[in-house]
Amino acid sequence: MPHERTRSVIHTRDFLVELSRDPSLPARIRRDAKFLLRHYPTRGDMVTAGRIEEHADSLSGLLEPVFSSRIDD
């Protein structure tokens, strides 16, 4: 479901942030998490993508939205 996919992406970002800030982890893990976060979508990006997909007339009937503007935590 689009809202579950959106929530998963958001929670993955939160997890990467947590990893990047955890001093108990090796520097390589923290560095890799920071690297992945550089272009990882924010919560706002995900909500915007969901809204665009939900309201795109050109997709109507052809494709279902991939993401959702609704986030149920």
Query: Residue 67: inside a domain, yes or no?
Result: no
Query: Residue 19: inside a domain, yes or no?
Result: yes
CB 36 within 8 A of CB 24: no
Query: Residue 41: inside a domain, yes or no?
Result: yes
> What local confidence, expressed as pLDDT, does residue 58 receive?
57
> Can you give the pTM of this predicted structure?
0.76
**How many domains does the chain contain in total?**
1
Question: Tens-of-pLDDT digits for all 73 residues of the chain?
Answer: 888 889 999 999 999 999 999 999 999 999 999 999 999 999 999 988 888 887 775 555 666 767 777 777 5
Query: Residue 17: inside a domain, yes or no?
Result: yes
Angle at 59 between CA 67 and CA 66, to 5 degrees: 15
Query: Residue 73: inside a domain, yes or no?
Result: no
> What local confidence, expressed as pLDDT, does residue 1 receive?
82
> What local confidence, expressed as pLDDT, does residue 60 receive?
59
Parent domain of 48? 2-59
